[in-house]
Structure formats: structure tokens, C-alpha cells
Amino acid sequence: MRRDWFMKSSRTVVLIVLCSSLIACSTIATDQAATPRTTAAHYAEHGTVRPDGRPQRGRPSGKLAAAKPEAAKRVPVTPPQAPTTVFPSALPKSFAAADEMVAHFIDVGQGDAVLLEFSCAAVLIDTGGEITDEVVGRERLAEYLRDFFLRRADLANTLKLVVLSHAHKDHTDGVTALLEAYPQITIQNVLDNGATSGSGISGQNKLQRYADETGAGYMGISEADITSTSGATSPIIDPVDCRPGGGVDPKIVALWGRVDLDAGWANNGNNDSVVLRVDFGGASLLFTGDLEKDGIKAMLESYAADTSIFDVDVLKVGHHGSHNATTKELIAAVTPKVAVIQAGDSTISRGTFSAYSFAHPHENAIDTLLDAQNGVTMTRSAKTVRVGVRGRNPTNDAPPQFKSMEIKGAIYTTGWDGNIAVIANKNGTIRVEYGH
């Protein structure tokens, strides 16, 4: 099904990342120069009519505004002359560099939680995590945030924005960690997909009630709200601007949301995931929630007039590195320098909802990310890792299968590497540090 009716924009958020644990961090750099990428100077607007009678993508009105990102000059990725240490989050570093952002990919087991740190603000994308006898993701998230705000006392325990990509437990279970935190965490804006059901709807509803009771900004975004190929933005989607303090104004835009269509794939909550692009000067990141192949196909078709909005430096890989969420078409559009997968350690727990049971990350996803033409362009220190071949069979309970694989491309997984910090400089350079 083809749908050319989206509004896309490139609002970027960039984050200064710190490892949460006190384990020594390892700096990863590359000797390769990344191929420069060009963002379109503007995006075409469409005036035709969709099959359902709604207008196709054109200039949006109301709260959502199409953002036309400035073409960011790409520069080669080069190793830093003197590696900069990303301090463990509890150490007393009271500021973040004005020209850097850090994306903290927090090890919450089998689930997503990404903290974007800027010189003047912090944004949290998803609050999920594993819930097994061995790993309780919400407890790891609570500890990480506590240490982060001890270090960043200037942020006054405030999250400028919390995004819940979709209403599944491995993305919303940590909402209680936010609302019950001590010292109290203040949330100024909430963005979700406006869904009314899902395994994690309780957490999503709690955060919506918080917004109602406190007067925080709230938006539940659907794909129908996105009417141009530059994406959708608003003061809620993108509330961060660090320029008054000498920093950068990141650009954050929504590229996808809840799908209200009478189609089988649209009834899958994963395909309702909020997809965000964050630009920080010349660096860019894409967060895809748990979007699966049918949702990816529909999304890319919606942007058929211009898919350059997906061309970014850092990809948060969808659906924890599942076999069904990293397609060749998506990677061809993204051409990432670095890919990060949020999945649990498959050697720790054998619970039903664990990386072990699902065999995450899957070898198909890893192979696609390593594609010679469009896959990751940076490198990492060679590492032998465990990847899934087949998940547990839910019918006969046949165990999952894994194999060992040596990784040299810049693919990182919380299950392999612990807490991961992706440091993006406004000049477009990227470096990665991790916990173990």
C-alpha cells in the first residue's frame, strides 16, 4: 500500500553521554572517513488526494509544523587526538560541553531507554526494561537517572521531554521509576502515540495523567498528523534550545506515529511506534522504536518523494535487533555510521521475555547492518559476540539457537557492551564509549 502523505522535519537532539557504571570506558574510534551525506535543501509538498479522501502530504497547520532542515555539512569521522573520558554518571562533572550531545543507551536488559544529554537539558526516549528474576530494568533506569542528576545538578532533576515510542512494557515499565523517583523528577513535556491498548498501556496512561495533573505539555501523535516529507515538529516534540547558554539548538522531528488504518499490519502495536530524528549541528540520529518490516515499508513509501530525512549518522536499531525490523530498504535509506541495539544479555536470564528467548540480536539484523554498500561505515575494536539464529519455539518450547560471530563494524549492543555512550559533536564527528 503506497501512501505519499507525510510531513517530515529534522529537529535534532544531541546528547552528551556518560557511562553509568564505574567500570572503565573504552573509546572507540575509526580510521575510516565516512562518505559525506547531503540533506535535501527542501522537501516537495503534495496536493493530491489519498485513497481515503484525506489530502496527501502538504504544509501542515496547527500545533504541528513542517520543519525544513538546513543542509548539514558532513565531515569525515576522525579519531580524537586525545580520547575524552566519558565519566561514570556519579562523578562530579557539573556541566556538559556546549558543542556536544551524548546519547546514553542505558542497559535496562531486554528493553529500550535512551537518555539524550545536552548542555542545557535532558530528554528520555522510552522507559522500558527487562522484568525477569535476574534483571529488573526499571531499577537500573532509576539508578542511572539518580546518578545522572547528581552529576548534572544544573538540570534540577528535570526532563525536558519524555517520549514513549509505543505502549509495550519493555518501553513503558520504567514510568514508575520516573514518577516515584526521589528526589522528585520534573517532566515538562510528554510525547507518545496516543494508543489505547498494549501490554504497557498502564505506564503510558500514568504518564498521561501526570501531564494532565501537572500541566505538562502532552501530544499523542499519529502518522496522519505527519503531512510532509520533512516530518512533524512542535514545541512539545522539540522543546530544547541551548543557544541562550552558548550551546546548540538541536532539531527534533517525528517521522511516524500511531497508524489508524484497517490493515492487519497496522494492528500490530510495534508498527505504531513513534519514530524520531534528532539533529545536533552536523550530526544526526534516528530512533525507530519497535517498527517492524511492514511498518517500515509503509513509512518509506509515505516518504517516496524524498527519503533523505532517514539518512543519519547513528541508528537506534528497531525491535531490539529482531530478524523482522532491520530491512535492506531501511538501511539503504539510513546508511548509518554507527548502529546501537538495545537488547538484553542472552546469557543472564532464560525468562519468557528475555534476549535468550527471542534470540536477540538476530544474525539477519547484524548481517544487514554490516552490508558492504549501505551498512555501518565506522569500525570498532574487534569483538566476538553471541547472535541469535532462531528464537524459542512457543509451540513446542524448543530452545533458541545462537552462534558466535566476530564484529568489526560499529555495531553496539547493551547486551554485549553494557551502558553505551554515543557522543556527537556539532561538527558532525561521532565517537562511542561503553561500559564493558
Instruction: Extract the C-alpha cell encoding 139.
Output: 531499577
DSSP 199: T
Convert 88-107 to b/e letters by CB count within 10 Å (16 or more is b): bbbeeeeebebbbbbbbbbb
In this prediction, residue 38 carries a pLDDT of 36
Instruction: Extract the C-alpha cell encoding 75.
Output: 565531515
In this prediction, residue 436 carries a pLDDT of 54
Convert 125-142 to b/e letters by CB count within 10 Å (16 or more is b): bbbbbbbbeebbbbebbb
**Which amino acid, residue 62?**
G
For 289-418, list the strands marked E by DSSP.
314-316, 338-341, 379-390, 401-409, 411-413
H/E segment holding residue 363: helix 363-369
pLDDT by residue, tens only, the chain of 436 residues: 333 333 333 333 333 333 333 333 344 333 333 333 333 333 333 333 333 433 333 333 334 544 444 433 333 333 334 334 344 443 334 457 899 999 999 999 999 999 999 999 999 999 998 999 999 999 999 999 999 999 999 999 999 999 999 999 999 999 999 999 999 999 999 999 999 999 999 999 999 999 999 999 999 999 999 999 999 999 999 999 999 999 999 999 999 999 999 888 999 999 999 999 999 999 999 999 999 999 999 999 999 999 999 999 999 999 999 999 999 999 999 999 999 999 999 999 999 999 999 999 999 999 999 999 999 999 999 999 999 999 999 899 899 999 999 999 999 999 999 999 999 999 999 999 998 5
Instruction: Extract the C-alpha cell encoding 102.
Output: 551524548
H/E segment holding residue 398: none
In this prediction, residue 263 carries a pLDDT of 87
* Cα dihedral 292→126→421→119 (10° resolution): 130
Instruction: Extract the C-alpha cell encoding 259.
Output: 497508524
Q: Which residues pair with 28 in a beta bridge?
A: 432
In this prediction, residue 55 carries a pLDDT of 34
DSSP code string of 58-118: ----TT-B---PPPPPP------SSPPP---TTS------TTEEEEEE---SSS--EEEE-
Q: Side by side, which strands form the sheet with 338-341?
A: 251-256, 275-280, 283-287, 314-316, 338-341, 411-413
Q: Which residues pair with 100 in a beta bridge?
A: 425
Whole-angstrom Cα distance, residue 431 to residue 425?
9
3-class SS of residue 351: coil
Say if residue 264 is exposed, middle or buried (CB neighbours under 10 Å; 0-12, 13-18, 19+): exposed
| Cβ contact 317:340 at 8 Å | yes
Whole-angstrom Cα distance, residue 425 to residue 122?
16
CATH of segment(s) 26-35+64-434: 3.60.15.10
| Cβ contact 57:7 at 8 Å | yes
